[in-house]
Every structure is written in C-alpha cells, then in structure tokens.
Structure 1
C-alpha cells in the first residue's frame, strides 16, 4: 500500500470510527467501521489484506479521545453526518428529532414522492406519517409528487395514484399540492438542454457493458468530449424518439475518476420503448432517470428538507453534481433505515404482493394476509394508529423493527371506549339448556357505559359454545348475562348460583350464542377465514361498524347478510343463499 492510499484509508477510517463512537457513545469497533468504509470506497477492496491493519491503528487513536473531543473532531471532518446525529439526539414528544437547520428557512417545504407502481405496503406509510407530522409541527408545506417516469421496470398502476392519495388521507394528512412527474417531462428536457449548453452532459451510445468497463477503470467514454452542438442534436433526436431502447443515453459529466464508481458520469436520460400507461404521457420515449427528475423537481418546488432511505445516499451525491452546474443550493437531507415488520408471512414488497395476487394466493391488496395499508384499513384499524407507530420509530439511520402489536395497542386506545360488545362463537359446539334458566340475557353494550343500554339475547333451548370453553362433566360455567350452569351428560343444567361463585374464582365466565337465533358470520383473519355464529343483534349492524367480539377481539363489519324473514310457520329464519352470512374482518385482540 503506497503512502497516498494509506492517507486516504486513514482519513476515511477516522471519519467512520468517529461516527461509530459518537453515535453509540462508546469506543469505536473495527468490525463496525470496516463495512461502511469498504462500501463507500470500493477501490479499497483490492487491498483488503492491508486495510484492517491501518483501520485498527486509527480506531485505537480515536478511542483514546474523550467523548467531547470525538464530537469536535467529527464536526470538523464530517459536519453533515454530525448534524444528523445531533438531530437524532434532540427528540421531542413526538419521538421525531427537529429537522436540521429548520430555523434557517422561511417555510419548511417537504415532499412525499411515491412511485405509483402499486398500492402501498405498510412500510410506505412511514413517509407521509413523518412528513405530515413535520408539516404540522413547523406550519410548513408538503406535496405529493408521483415519481412516475419509469414506464418499464417500475411501471405505474393507473389505480395507484388515487389509492395512494386515499391512503395519505386515511393516515390523517391532506397534502398542500399534488404533482405527477410524467406531466413535467418538457421541463426536464429544458433543463437537460441547459446542462448540455454548460458542457455538463453528453450523449453516449456505448453499450452498458462497454461503459461499465471504462467507468470501473476510471477512463472517459469516447463520446465525452463531443461538441455541444452534436450533443444537442442527438439529445433532440432522443426526444423525437429516433433511437431505440438502449441505443443512446444522456450522461451527466461528473468526475470520471471519482472514488465511488457509481457517481461517475451517471445516466440522466434513456430511451424506453414501452409506452407510459397514462394517455397524457404515452407519446414520450425519452425518459429522465429518477436522480435527474427528482433533483430538478426538488429545486423547482423549493423543497427544503428531503427524507430518504440510507440506501439512497448516492442519489444525493449524484444530484449535487447537477445542483453545482446550475448553482442551486441542495436541500437538507435526513437519511433513515428501513422498516422491518413482524407478524406477516408475506414479504413487504409491492412486486411480491402483486405476484401473489396474480397467482391467486391473495384475494387482493386488502386481503387480511397482505401487509398493506388497504388491508389494515379494511380490518378496521384507524390510520391515526399507524401514524402514531410510525412516528414512534423516529428517524434513525439504523433499520428499525415495527411490531404490529404497537399499532394494535394504539388502535385499541382509540376505539375501545366507543366500540360496543357482541358475542361470537367460532366453530361452535351445541349443548341443550335444562332447568329453570332465564329465557333472555341482557349484557351491556359496553361495560363502562351503562347509558348505552343492553343487548337482548334470547337463550332458546340450546346454546353454542367454543370447543375450548366446554367444561368437563359436572363442572360449572357462567354463561355471561345468563347465569351458572353445570355440565351434565350432553346438556347444561341451570344451577341458580349467584355471581359470588365467579367472584370467588370457582367458575369461569364464557360467552355463548343461542343455537336457533344466532346469525352466521365469516371472520376473515390473517390466518384465513373462520366460520362462526353471532348473537342476533349482529344482524342489525351496518358495513363499517366496528365491534368487539368478547373474548375474541375487535373486528370491522364488511358486509351484512340479508335481513331475517318469517316463514309461513311464523319461525324466524333466513332465506338461504351462498352469501347468507355477515362478513367481518378481524382487527386485533
């Protein structure tokens, strides 16, 4: 390893060692330093045998510094990274740090920039939840900008535009403006032409493999020095659709010897033969890449703060080359880690969910087994509960785990007091009632709100119990709202015991439904459909009502079966149809 390379390794290692030590308020760790060091400096890899020794010495020197000295040195070497750490340290009551340098702007302006290639999975909700919260905190502005300039690999779904806007409203926010990048293609063309006039871009007909070899070797493309007039003519030919896909691109001139090959002369425009699904944009064939399109739009929309994934750090670096050419000031950037979700068997990926729907393994985007915003909404979970959980994750650069239990807890706090109770028995076992039992039960609609009244549940001649609730022979149980019964042979015999047997812990309280008067319910859950029967009053509920099925959990009524009718004999029954059941979506315990 020559002296020049050693100096670079030491300089980069010191930065990463300080980041590691300051962020975790502890000594730096060589292993933790090596990963990001080699990731940001791929040319170090050919010296992989020698680099760890150099890093070890640097880490030792950093660990000899006091904590305040480490922070001061990091501020000197990497002020942007230090600002991110300080922002993370200043968490307020929302668990969100203050935005960096927000006080320097007349108005905080942010953007939520989804790719509308399908409805949102749950992880997508983090962006509008956090941006909307920041907008409200700073009395700022935020827009939804659909970054839909890739009609091929991330092909827009025409229904996703409205669905995403609906999801944002469901989460509790209304954007101040909405844009579609595919409506702004001429604007990107104009800026590309200006960049060419500045000698900041050139047209390139190298194959991907040819350019990759040159780029990795730090050698310029043979088209790099062509005159501006030729580049403009060829770019206009791209705009006119005169080239086929892969035949010509427009590249931004950067530093062909930049230490990070990914930043060397990156593609700003390419040819795509696949028409855009939006009719208004279907004639375009020359499309901007996301880094160019987004960079231009962020400036024109006067965005002050960008929140993006830690994996998109190179995007900011690429865009800064364009900003430098135009003399623009780059927005403040907050990078965060990915959200990892528990409880679901399905991967939180738009493309994967789409595959499962097409294969018939999921019924749709709102299938309760799908980790999507639409699914949570259909299950009766309020958007506010999701937003609160997303805010609670903060903006750490590390990957964060989101437990669905936190969303459920937030939702329970929101709906518990206003949600009426009902009985639902799943896979019920029928037992006759004997003895002088009450003919009707009148449990409260809500145990904490007597003013709401009671339910009227006829007992009839027999009841349905959940299999796990069946008592052993001669044991007693308390049918909620009805009284104490003993299990004798295949019947439940009324005993007349008072409530003291429950208070003394001698008898379990269970729910039940009348066998004759109960109504069929299909409960859709993350583990599949469950058939059951509910107390008669469930037939009077309406779609979108939320109930708590006692000892089962909260659920949203999705559809209600036809009303009961009287037959010629006067018995109450239902017309028999395949859809003769109320459908409810299970939310959570």
Structure 2
C-alpha cells in the first residue's frame, strides 16, 4: 500500500512540536488511522513507515522543525462540527465553502449499486463543506458507449430520488468547442500533435518506446492537420490528436495517449447533437479539462483510475493548471447481484431479465421497484466509506438497513401466495374482526372483516395446511384457535376457543388467512418466481408505491392497484 507522505509527515511534525521536538509513534499512528482507516489493512508496514519518518524528524533542530511544519501544516486541521457528525473522515485540502465535487456518469446505462459509492460520497462531502456538487454527463462516445436519451432522464430521476439535488448539471456533448480550443492551445505550445499512423503501427512503436513519425511536426503543421480533422478531410480512424508524454513511461498506454479522434456520426449519430460534430474527445482529455473549468477540487473515483490520473497530469502540467485532490475507493460487489452493464444488457436481450428494473438485478431502478428506501442505500454507502479496498455488501445487510426504515412505515395485511380453501361454522361472537393496521401505531386505524354467513370460507397458504393436517390445534390470527375436523373433498376446521395465552404457551401454529368473499387477486413478484394468490381487500386503502408488510411473508412494494387484481414486488423478509 502507498501511504500519503504529506499526511504522515504533517501528523509527525505536529506531534514533534507538541512534545518538544520528539514525536511519539503511538499517538501519531492513532491520528493517522482516524483519518485513513483503510491503512489498518497494512498496519505493520504503516508502523515501520512512521518510524522511518520519525527518525528523520526527531533529528531536526527546533527551527528546522517549525520551518518544515509550515510546508505540511495544511494537511492537518481540527475537524469542523459537520466533519465530526459525518461518518466520513475529514477531507484533505478542504476549506469550508470552497469544496467542489462531481459525479460523472456515462448515460449508456442506468445507475447501479456500484455507482452509488462515488455519487453519495461526492455529494456528502460537498454538503459537509458547504460547497458545490456537480453532475456531469460524460457522453462523448456515440459509437462504442453510445448514450441513450432515456438514460439521461433515468439517471437524474434516480439521483433526485436519493435526495440529491445537483447544484449544476453539465453535458459534455455541449462542450466540444471548449475541447477544441484547449486542443489548439496544446498544439500551439508544442504538446500535442496529429498522428496519421494506423492504430496497429502506432501500438508497435509505442510498445517499443519509439516516436511516431508525426511527433516532430511543427505546431503550424499540426494546427493545419487538426483543422482538416474538424472539416471532414479525414475519415474515421485516419487521424488522432495525441498528447506528448514520456515515451519511456513504464506503462505503454500512457505514452502519447490519444486525446481526440474522429467518429463517423452519420453512421453513429449522437442522441443529443446528431451529426453536428465528428471529432470527439476521449475520456482523459475531456475529464481533465472539465474538472479544471468547473473548479472541481476533489475527485472520488475507483482505484483503477490511477493510470488515468497519470495521463491527465500532463494536461495540468502543460497548461499550468492546479490538479484536484484525488481520493480512491475500491469496487463494490453484492453476492448474486450482477453489476456489469454488458452482462445485464446481454441478459435482457436473451430474455434472462425483463428490463433494467428486473428484481433480480442490483440496479437502482430495480432496488426502487422492490421498495428499498433512499435513506437505506445512503446509510450503507456511508458505512462502507471511501476505503480503497474492495467491499462486499451482502443482501441481508441491505435488507436489514431497509427494514429499520420501512418497518414503522409499512401497514400490515394478510396475503396468501399458494391459496388453499378451508371453511368453518361461524360461532356467534365471530362477526366483526378488527386488526390494527400497525401494531405500534393505533392511530392508523384497523382492518375490518365482517362475517355474517353461517359458514365462513377462508384462503390459507398450502404450506400451512400441510402443517395442520396432523390435527394439532392451530390459531387463525385475530379470530381464534381451531383444529382440523375433516379433510375430504372440502377441508373443514372447527373453532375451539379464543385463548391467545394458551395458544402461545402450547406452541400452536399461528396462521394468516384471507376471507374468500373479502379478497382480491394478488400477483406476488419475486426475483426468481411469481405467485398468483390473494390479498385481503383492505389493502385497497393503500396507494401505489407504498411499502406494506404481508404478515409472515415479508415486505413488498405495491406496484399496481387495480379493480380486479394487484401487483406487489418483494423487497425482503
């Protein structure tokens, strides 16, 4: 693991000044881990690293110590009230009112659980430091990662559903003239050139560390060639604008990396700007330019982007721009939850998934459809934090967090997935059954069941019938204790009494039920299957999008309320 030398030195120097010129490793270690908890994964190496730095610091005179501390002191500061309240660690190089963060999705797909880490963390830090939060659509590849208009809207809808309102929203497809202007400036300074090599030929030269034959062209020659790229004199694949870098760089992909290329937009029109442009920036070029012009101060991104930072650093260096502070996080995974865009789209094409909100998926539309609350998703992401190590979020953890929120919101109802009909002879006092909509909130009212006929028919779940066929007593919740009387063509049960204490003491099976004449068809939609059963009619008091609990089954989101049937989507137990 690579440790942040500036941060480590700042804490050591601060500690040394506090203790008369001699830093103490234990207290320094504690301070560093409070800011960088991910360093615990390499604690032994960190201790040795601190010791090596302390040895140097403790050898300095008081004047040298104070002078060196001036260089590093900005990396150590007392947390603000907002920082103390947040589960996230303090942000390096951050000032109240001056932090600008961004979330930059490609609108070629919807958000998923993995997308939420940079989104929520970026927004939370902007809020903590009273700064600005930007959403920037990186839609500059109409060929390979072609944006779709519906995804722009879905992404913004999901962001706002999470309770996040961006201060600014940008579309890179609106900013191509800016990229062209910066390209001209780099060409004029001699830091960019137009390469006419076939891609295979350039790749061979690059791997060998040999300069492209076009690298030595003058700025005026490159400017003329760039104008020809823009005017359409070159076809797709015939010309690329490259940034001059170190040809001996250990990573060949960094060597003279491509900044702008030609895309045949007549063949691959852009969904927002059509065929207006034919020269499009690649990721590292547009990203660096936008981060600078938008004033982004802190970038939260996956560890896999470190090589991109190396590439972008050349832009900042050549144009004398200040780089943002980069903070890396690991990938998120959910067992059994597919987060790969290509796999999901392939699954939709092959009929494995019905759409991007299929309950099998861990996309944000799918989680919304299942009844997950935005607060639950935000809490999970903030708990995971910004560690550079990969994290696995088990579905049970998601369910537990969501249950804390929806349990108090969800009214209770009865529903049966595998209906099985039983009947009993009504006794006089069983005429009106009242059951609270929520056991903890009597003010929400009750569910009413009126029984007037001599014989009452109920749906119970077939699984429960298989338990009562043994003729052991059981309890119908809210009605009373029963026993199986006969099981021929029709199943008849007999009322015993209404002694709840006895039922609990003797371990009677508690069974939910739905009156046949007070029922509505209910489609129970699960990730892997669908049941066609019944729900009590009282559920029609609810609204679409409400989360309810079917007792003894689980929590569901109401997707559709019709006159003849309802659809509910399973959230979790």
TM-superposition CA deviations, 1:156-177 (whole Å, max 9, x none): 0111111111111111110000
Corresponding residue for residue 512 of structure 2: 511
Equivalent residues in 2 for 1:276-295 (5 A)? 276-295=269-288
Corresponding residue for residue 331 of structure 1: 324
Corresponding residue for residue 484 of structure 2: 487
Shift of the alpha carbon at 1:72?
7.7
TM-score, with length taken from structure 2 = 0.84
Distance 1:96 1:276, change over 3 A: farther
Question: Is 1:112 aligned to 2:103, yes or no?
Answer: yes
TM-superposition CA deviations, 1:419-450 (whole Å, max 9, x none): 21100111111112136271342111111122
Corresponding residue for residue 190 of structure 1: 181
Of the three residues 464, 481, 484, the one matched with 2:459 is 464
Corresponding residue for residue 38 of structure 1: none
Q: Supply the RMSD in Å over aligned alpha carbons.
A: 2.7
Shift of the alpha carbon at 1:188?
0.1
Shift of the alpha carbon at 1:409?
2.1
Shift of the alpha carbon at 1:23?
4.8
Shift of the alpha carbon at 1:351?
2.4
Residues 519, 539 of structure 1: 8 Å contact kept: no
TM-score, with length taken from structure 1 = 0.82
Question: Is 1:300 aligned to 2:317, yes or no?
Answer: no
Residues 416, 533 of structure 2: 8 Å contact kept: yes
Corresponding residue for residue 196 of structure 2: 205
Shift of the alpha carbon at 1:73?
8.4
Structure 2 gap ranges (5+): 1-35, 58-67
Corresponding residue for residue 441 of structure 2: 449
Shift of the alpha carbon at 1:216?
1.2
Residues 113, 147 of structure 1: 8 Å contact kept: yes
Distance 1:286 1:521, change over 3 A: same
Distance 1:445 1:245, change over 3 A: same
Corresponding residue for residue 587 of structure 1: 571
Q: Report the Cα distance in structure 1 between the residues aligned to 2:339 and 2:370, rounded to whole angstroms.
A: 18
Q: Report the Cα distance in structure 1 between the residues aligned to 2:119 and 2:424, rounded to whole angstroms.
A: 55
TM-superposition CA deviations, 1:351-381 (whole Å, max 9, x none): 2222222333322112212221011112221
| Stretches of 4+ aligned residues off by more than 4 angstroms | 19-23, 70-74, 90-93
TM-superposition CA deviations, 1:50-81 (whole Å, max 9, x none): xxxxxxxxxxxx99x4753368889x9xx99x
Distance 1:457 1:435, change over 3 A: closer
Residues 435, 493 of structure 1: 8 Å contact kept: no
Structure 1 gap ranges (5+): 1-18, 29-61, 563-579
Shift of the alpha carbon at 1:408?
2.0
Q: Report the Cα distance in structure 2 between the residues aligned to 1:294 and 1:25, rounded to whole angstroms.
A: 32
Equivalent residues in 2 for 1:12-23 (5 A)? 23=40
Of the three residues 92, 101, 104, the one matched with 2:93 is 101
Corresponding residue for residue 361 of structure 1: 352
Corresponding residue for residue 14 of structure 2: none
Of the three residues 288, 294, 304, the one matched with 1:311 is 304
Corresponding residue for residue 521 of structure 2: 520
Q: Report the Cα distance in structure 1 between the residues aligned to 2:193 and 2:424, rounded to whole angstroms.
A: 87
Distance 1:360 1:296, change over 3 A: same
Question: Is 1:236 aligned to 2:227, yes or no?
Answer: yes
Corresponding residue for residue 541 of structure 1: 542
Of the three residues 407, 418, 433, the one matched with 1:416 is 407
Of the three residues 247, 268, 275, the one matched with 2:238 is 247
Corresponding residue for residue 391 of structure 2: 400
Q: Report the Cα distance in structure 2 between the residues aligned to 1:119 and 1:174, rounded to whole angstroms.
A: 18
Shift of the alpha carbon at 1:395?
0.6
TM-superposition CA deviations, 1:372-430 (whole Å, max 9, x none): 10111122211121111111111111111112223222222222222211001111111
Shift of the alpha carbon at 1:473?
2.9
Residues 335, 397 of structure 1: 8 Å contact kept: yes
Residues 426, 456 of structure 2: 8 Å contact kept: no
Corresponding residue for residue 32 of structure 2: none
